[in-house]
Every structure is written in C-alpha cells, then in structure tokens.
Amino acid sequence: MYKESKFNISFIRENANYMYNSHTGSLATLDEEYQASLNSINQKDLMNIPDDHILKLKEAGFIVDEGIDEFLIYKYMTNNSKYSNHFLGLTIATTLQCNFRCPYCYEEHLDSYFDVEKEENLKKFIFNNLEDKKALSITWYGGEPLLQKKMIDRVSKELIKFCDEKKITYNFDMISNGYLLTKEVAQQLVNENKINSVQITLDGGPETHNQTRYLRNGQGSFDRILENIKDIADIINVNIRVNVSQNNVADIHRLIPILLSNGLNKKVNLYFAPVTVHEGTCQSVSESCLVTEEFSKWETELIDYADNLGFEMGNMYPSNLGGGVCTAVSNNTFVIDSEGDLFKCWNEVGKKESRIGSLTEGITNINQYVNWIEWNFPEKCMDCSIFPLCKGRCPDMSRNGKEVECNQLKFNIVDRLIRYCMNNPSTPSENEMIKI
Ligand code: SF4
Ligand code: SF4
C-alpha cells in the first residue's frame, strides 16, 4: 500500500495541476489520469492504477510506502549529519570590535582581539580537533573580521599548510560589512587565504542603508561599500544580504536599479532576509522587524520587481540540501570569539554566561553544550510540508520551549515554484523536474 508524501505541495497554474515534493525536489504537472491515480491512492483503492503510474509517482517521491514515517526518517538523516565525526566547522570572531554601529546589532563592541597567546591557543585547538577529520570549514566573523586581517593571514597560512599535508579539504568564507574590503584585500584573501566567498549586508538604497549601517562616527557607509563591491565582484563570490524591515522595505526598490546601473547584474548573488529580534541591543529595534509571514510577501514582491527590471536573482528553486541542520546543534561545530571562549551559536558571541568552554580547557559547561545538541524540532514541524527545506528553522529561536516563527517559504513557496515554471517553460532540469 502507498500513501501521499507529507512533503507534497500542489498548486494550479494555467489550468494545470502541479505537484512539488520538498524532500526529493521533484516538480511535475499531473495530467488527469495521474491525478485520478493519486486520488485513488488517497482513497486506498489501488486496484485500477497502472503500474507505471505507481512507479513514476514513487520515483518522484509523491507517494511513499504506507508504513513509512517520513518525519522520523528525515530526523534520522539530520542526526546522521549532526553527529558526523568527519567534519570540523568553526565560526571565528576575530574581534568583538566593529568599525560600524548598526542599531540592530546584538553584539557589544568590546575592545577584544586575539593576542599572541590566544592566537596560539586557537591554532592548537584547531589542529587537535582536526586530527581525525576529513574536512574543515571556517567562517571568519566579528565584529568586523577585517579589523584583524593580519591575524586571519597568519592563521590561514598555517591551517592551509596543515590541511594540505593531511589531505583535509577546506572551505573558508567571511561575513564582513564590506567597508574595508578593497580590491587588494579581496585579491589577497582569495589568493593566499583561500577565502572563496564573502557575505556583505546592505540595508536598502543609500538613504536607509546609511541610517542603519553607519560608522562609529555616524558617517554613512553605502558609497564606499558599493565601490568595493564593484571592485571585488570579479575576484571573489559576493553574496549581498539585504536586511528587510518595516523601515527600509520601500527603499529596497531603489537599491536594485543602483546595483544594475553599476554593472553588478550577474556578478553578485542578492538575497533578502528579515531583521530578527535577538536578545541585547537588537531589542531596541524590535518594532521595525517584520514577522515572517509579512516578510514572505515582501520577498516575493521584491523578487518580482528584480525580475521585471532584468536583475538576475538566480533560479531560486527550493532545493533540499540534505540532512544538514543548523550548526549550533551539530557535534563538531563551534563559535570562537576573541576572548578565547567557545559557543554553539553565533548570537551568543561575547556573552560570557552562554559560553560552553574555552580554547584552552575545551568544553567545560557540558549542560549548556548538551542543551544545544539535544535540541528537538518544534512539534509543529512534524506535519510540515516544507520540513526538509526548513528543518525547524533557527534552534536559538525555539530553544527552551520558545515559539519559532516559520521560514518564509512556508508562506511563499508556491510563488517561488510558479516563478521557476515561468522562467523555465520548456527545459526543466532533469534533477529538479520529472514530467509526468
Ligand atoms: S557591521 Fe555587523 S558587527 Fe558591526 S555593528 Fe553592524 S551588525 Fe554589528
Ligand atoms: S519552523 Fe515552520 S516552516 Fe520550519 S519546519 Fe517547522 S513548521 Fe515547517
């Protein structure tokens, strides 16, 4: 016996019935015969269903064996990935200081840097923890990581040598505000430090960006960041994160033509993100945060707007990237700050009370550590059709019984799929679309 997958999402477009599955990524139009077969399966009447219908529906993941608990299987997959011992993932805050003073920033800007001793401790910690690993991933983070660029240079050089000798694969990236990211800096980061991508945030057009992302002296940063992005876009992969809040949503419409007229179409990856509330300084802007459902509408509208202007946003096909869940609840992933403290989540950087240990002592607060690792998916996720795409969203938001807001895809996935169909009318990729 078979049943419909709980990860199916159906919609109608131009009088055709579409079906998408968030686990397999299949997308298909179901003709009347297939639709009738699916209805029969739902009524537990398999008598008159042709074998090839069963085969194809199963292959696409639209039907599964009756006894299968898809949520449990998916949970098993995420556990496999989160308890894996092959990988070390680090987010390293080179300093807690920043050259910006964004009002929504949740970090306190302490004058904390890696000195010679802490840098040695960091390298020892990484080398020791890499002994039995096959892959290393580092995100250079802050404050502003480039305030400590020389430290990044020194540590990267030794890590690259170590990994090359031990045949450990590595992937390095950076989250920077972009102000210090000149052409020369980017060139060096790529060539010598093997950093392959950088995430830079813009908060809309020049006016609103300068109101929320300003220097310590209050001066705006938009023009300089834009110049830097133009200079580096051919050197390093640039992901532009555009924070969307009630305050800047209208102004983002001005940003996209600016990126276009500055020759950045097809050179950068642009995406939108909601400003979320975390404890600490971000509380002060909580009124301007968009709840996710509202954000999802703005996201769809902004993507449409970019499409109409001819700005390349990529195919944005909702793909499940495997079992991987947030690194905060994974085994071999740590956030390290410039005090030499270890954390599980980067929202906690600099908060002594949340540390799970230190570079020199390892994990000392086992309760705190286990509390993260043993995080469970919120109950509402058990019946969610986009669970494989969202995986319970942000554990930090739902830890200790807190209610988590759903991923925006929960509200706009059909918009996303229709956009994909419109942009790919006759040549669907075989991996993504199975035509039935
Ligand atoms: S650039 Fe980042 S770290 Fe610096 S103040 Fe803004 S949000 Fe905080
Ligand atoms: S947080 Fe919401 S969207 Fe994400 S898996 Fe859970 S129920 Fe689904």
Please state the domain count of the chain: 2
- Domain match, 111 and 162 both: yes
In a domain, 323, yes or no: no
What residue owns the CA closest to ligand 2's atom 2?
A: 406
pLDDT tens digits, one per residue of 366-418: 999 999 999 989 999 999 999 999 999 889 888 867 778 899 999 999 999 99
In a domain, 320, yes or no: no
Asked if residues 339 and 112 have their Cβ atoms less than 8 Å apart, the reply is yes
Confidence (pLDDT) at 248: 86
Alpha helices in 167-291 (DSSP H): 183-191, 206-212, 222-232, 252-261
Centroid of ligand 1 to alpha carbon of 263 (angstroms): 27
pLDDT top residue among 427 and 75: 75
- Cβ(100) – ligand 1 distance below 6 Å: yes
- Cβ(407) – ligand 2 distance below 6 Å: yes
- Say which CATH number the domain at 281 has: 3.20.20.70
Q: Choose the residue to mutate in 320, 381, 394, 408 for probing ligand 2, maximizing ligand atoms within 8 Å of C-beta.
A: 381
- Domain match, 62 and 145 both: no
Domain end position, chosen among 291, 309, 327: 309
Rounded-to-integer distance, Cα 137 and Cα 169, Å: 8
- Cβ(387) – ligand 2 distance below 6 Å: yes
Per-residue pLDDT, averaged over 22-37, amounts to 92
Domain end position, chosen among 270, 290, 309: 309
pLDDT tens digits, one per residue of 234-267: 999 999 999 888 888 888 999 999 999 999 999 9
Among residues 199, 208, 205, the alpha carbon closest in space to that of 104 is found at: 208
Q: Of 38-47, 88-97, 155-164, which gets the smallest average pLDDT?
A: 38-47
Question: pLDDT band for position 436 (50/70/90)?
Answer: low
Among residues 150, 235, 153, 148, the alpha carbon closest in space to that of 192 is found at: 153
* E strand or H helix at 59: helix 51-59
- Cβ(22) – ligand 2 distance below 6 Å: no
- Domain match, 61 and 170 both: no
- Domain match, 215 and 259 both: yes
Confidence (pLDDT) at 427: 52
Domain end position, chosen among 309, 331, 351: 309
- Domain match, 124 and 189 both: yes
Confidence (pLDDT) at 402: 74
In a domain, 92, yes or no: yes
In a domain, 249, yes or no: yes
Per-residue pLDDT, averaged over 44-59, amounts to 89
- Domain match, 23 and 167 both: no
In a domain, 372, yes or no: no
In a domain, 382, yes or no: no
Name 17's bridge partners: 12, 30
Mean pLDDT (the chain, rounded):
91
Backbone phi, psi, residue 22, to 5°: -75, -10
For residue 136, give Cα distances in angstroms to 48, 322, 344: 53, 18, 17
Given a cut of 50, whether residue 281 has pLDDT beyond it is no
* E strand or H helix at 368: helix 366-373
In a domain, 363, yes or no: no
- Domain match, 53 and 89 both: no
Confidence (pLDDT) at 105: 85
Looking at the CA of 201, which ligand is closest? 1
Asked if residues 46 and 84 have their Cβ atoms less than 8 Å apart, the reply is no
- Domain match, 62 and 137 both: no
- Domain match, 13 and 110 both: no
- Cβ(6) – ligand 2 distance below 6 Å: no
- Domain match, 289 and 174 both: yes
- Cβ(318) – ligand 1 distance below 6 Å: no
Confidence (pLDDT) at 282: 35
Range of the domain at 124: 78-309
- Domain match, 171 and 264 both: yes
In a domain, 14, yes or no: yes
For residue 327, give Cα distances in angstroms to 10, 28, 343, 372, 375: 31, 33, 11, 10, 12
pLDDT tens digits, one per residue of 315-354: 899 988 777 788 899 999 999 999 999 999 988 888 899 9
- Domain match, 45 and 97 both: no
Asked if residues 356 and 365 have their Cβ atoms less than 8 Å apart, the reply is yes
Alpha helices in 240-320 (DSSP H): 252-261, 292-309
pTM: 0.91
